[in-house]
Amino acid sequence: MLIHDDCLRGMRALEKETVDMIYLDPPFFTQRQQAARDSKGNIYSFSDVWDSRQAYLSFLKERLLEMHRVLKSTGSVFLHCDTSSSHYIRMLLDEVFGEDHFRSEIIWTYKRWSNSKKGLLAAHQTIFFYSKSKDLKFHTIYGAYSPTTNLDQILQERARNEMGKASYKRDESGAVVMAKEKRGVPLTDVWDIPFLNPKAKERVGYPTQKPIELLQRILRISTDEGDLVLDPFCGSGTALVAAKLMKRDFIGIDTSADAIKLCQERLSDPIKTESTLLRVGTAPYQTKTPAELAILNQFECDIVQRNRGIDAFLKKYYLGAPVAIKIQKETETLQEAISLLYMAGMKKRCSFTVLIRQNAEMSLADAAVPANMIVIDSNRLEVEENLESRSLVSHKSRTLEAQRPFTR
């Protein structure tokens, strides 16, 4: 069900204790007009400008009280915010739901492009998780063990000794006690879920749109099929789409007619983009060999993965433009490596390019090297060529010595 109204009025029309879970992504007190454009040129916007912080908190508290009324005793609320007002919101939630009903401060972390702001790059948002009572519905999700976990930590039971130090538990005979069957590591409160790719199919051009994967994780730990989910600031409808995909009932409320229309469109044809990064991890993206990394780490550079023409960029610009570095691959001739770097450097408008030669099959004097390209030999190749040269000199010297007539 979708309701086009202020969520305060919308929730007052609901019966008390009828909702199983509430997710809200309210305005963050950014003091900005939020706007974005979709691929068709449609502009979606909402105001996050307030007369004062107190006005913002009063607005939020009035609606939190109504959420508390409609939430079941076994229900939970997940409030999404950022550093703009998270510390004030935490106090509001303590007041409305009770300090004893605080469950977790979920940190949603993601990779972001750098910006010019002085200070640390913001790369997370916060989701406060509260329950209405101690009798909350909660499903534990288990994940894989850390790569550093050894076999004994999985198979053997541990206990703390009189000094409080953890060690393997032993029975009366001194034998190590085998652990009970384990299901993995319980989900932590730090969630590494990628931001939506600009080209992701589920992206609809709505400002502050969150990935469906994030909402589905919340639904998995707090609801069952058939449960009723409420999003009082539904925006583009991500929570509702996630609920529909997971066979939950839902209510979405928003003051924007454009947002409600967008929700209707998304719900009629739910689309979720599968994150390759979540599915396969970061390993497939790490294409550099240890030897290549050792070479590149000699430079002050940013390493580039999955690119044939460029392996890194120097951090320092020359002539106001980037400088690209490429390592010649074992399968490439010198001229092939020069061509790949030249074309890639042209596309990226590099002032200079640097090629690290790895193969001595072709003399540098015979290669067609662009004027803005510097070709240097890798340490390995330089050592090999030096040894070859010295070996040849030594061989000639020995030959001449052998041919010299013997005299007493």
Q: Is residue 402 part of a domain?
A: no
Task: Indicate if 257 and 314 belong to the same structural domain.
Answer: no
Task: For residue 270, count CB atoms less than 10 angstroms from its CB and return exposed for 0-12, middle for 13-18, buried for 19 or more.
Answer: middle
Quote the pLDDT of residue 402: 55
Task: Indicate if 17 and 121 belong to the same structural domain.
Answer: yes
Q: Is residue 101 part of a domain?
A: yes
* Domain boundary, last residue among 132, 157, 184: 184
Q: Is residue 269 part of a domain?
A: yes
pTM metric for this prediction: 0.70
DSSP 153-187: HHHB-EEE-TTS-EEE-B-TTSPBPBPPP---EEP
Total structural domains in the chain? 3
CA dihedral 255, 261, 267, 269 (to 10 degrees): -160
CATH classification of the domain holding 248: 3.40.50.150
* Domain boundary, last residue among 278, 297, 320: 278
Quote the pLDDT of residue 136: 97
Task: Indicate the residue type of 242.
Answer: A
Task: Indicate if 117 and 244 belong to the same structural domain.
Answer: yes
Quote the pLDDT of residue 105: 98
Instruction: Give the domain range for residue 374.
Output: 286-397
Q: What is the pLDDT along the chain (408 residues), one digit of tens a residue?
A: 999 999 999 999 999 999 999 999 999 888 888 877 777 778 887 888 999 999 999 999 999 999 999 999 999 999 999 998 999 999 999 999 999 999 999 999 988 766 667 788 888 999 999 999 999 999 999 987 777 776 666 667 777 777 778 777 777 787 877 777 777 889 999 999 988 877 888 888 888 889 999 999 999 999 999 999 999 999 999 999 999 999 999 999 999 999 999 999 999 988 887 765 555 555 666 788 888 998 998 888 888 888 889 999 988 899 999 999 999 998 999 999 999 999 999 999 999 999 999 887 777 888 899 999 999 888 766 666 666 676 666 655 655 555 556 555
Quote the pLDDT of residue 380: 67
